[in-house]
Structure 1
Amino acid sequence: MNKTILKFGVLGGIIVSAFMCLVTYFMKQNPEQQPSMILGFTSMVFAFGTMIYGVFQIRKNNANQISFGAAFKAGFLMTVIISTIYVAVWLVIFYNFFPNFMEIYGDMMLKNAKPEDVAKVTEEVKWMKEVYQSPIGIIGMTYVEILPFGTVVALLNALVQNRMSSKS
Structure 2
Amino acid sequence: MINNIFKKGILGGIIVSIVMTSMVFYMKANPGQEPNAIIGFISMFLAFIFVILGIKQEREINNGVITFGKAFLTGLSISLVISTIYVLVWLVIYYNFFPDFMEKHSEMVLKHTNPEELAAKTTEMNQMKEWYKNPLMIILLTYMEILPIGIVVSLIGALILKKK
What is the TM-score when the length of structure 2 is the normalising length? 0.98
The Cα offsets for residues 56-84 of structure 1, whole Å up to 9 and x where unpaired, read as 11112211111000000000000110000
Q: 1-side partners of 2:65 and 2:121: how far apart?
A: 49
SS of residue paired to 2:48: helix
Q: How does 1:16-35 map to 2 (within 5 A)?
A: 16-35=16-35
Query: What's the CA shift for 1:54?
Result: 1.0
Identity %: 50
The answer to whether 1:160 aligns with 2:160 is: yes
What is the TM-score when the length of structure 1 is the normalising length? 0.96
1:137 alignment counterpart: 137
1:83 alignment counterpart: 83
2:60 alignment counterpart: 60
Q: 2-side partners of 1:114 and 1:71: how far apart?
A: 45
Which residue identity lines up with residue 148 of structure 2 in the other structure?
Answer: P
The answer to whether 1:115 aligns with 2:115 is: yes
Q: 1-side partners of 2:3 and 2:28: how far apart?
A: 37
Which residue identity lines up with residue 14 of structure 2 in the other structure?
Answer: I
Which residue identity lines up with residue 66 of structure 1 in the other structure?
Answer: I
- Structure 1: which 5+ residue stretches go unaligned? none
The Cα offsets for residues 107-135 of structure 1, whole Å up to 9 and x where unpaired, read as 01101111111111101100100000010
Q: How does 1:42-57 map to 2 (within 5 A)?
A: 42-57=42-57
SS of residue paired to 1:33: coil
Which residue identity lines up with residue 16 of structure 1 in the other structure?
Answer: V
Q: Return structure 1 stretches of 4+ with deviation > 3 angstroms.
A: none
- Structure 2: which 5+ residue stretches go unaligned? none
Which residue identity lines up with residue 45 of structure 2 in the other structure?
Answer: V
Query: What's the CA shift for 1:32?
Result: 1.3
Query: What's the CA shift for 1:20?
Result: 0.5
Q: How many corresponding residue pairs?
A: 164
Q: 1-side partners of 2:8 and 2:63: how far apart?
A: 20
Q: 2-side partners of 1:43 and 1:124: how far apart?
A: 26
Which residue identity lines up with residue 59 of structure 1 in the other structure?
Answer: R
The Cα offsets for residues 101-160 of structure 1, whole Å up to 9 and x where unpaired, read as 000100011011111111111011001000000100100100000111111110111101
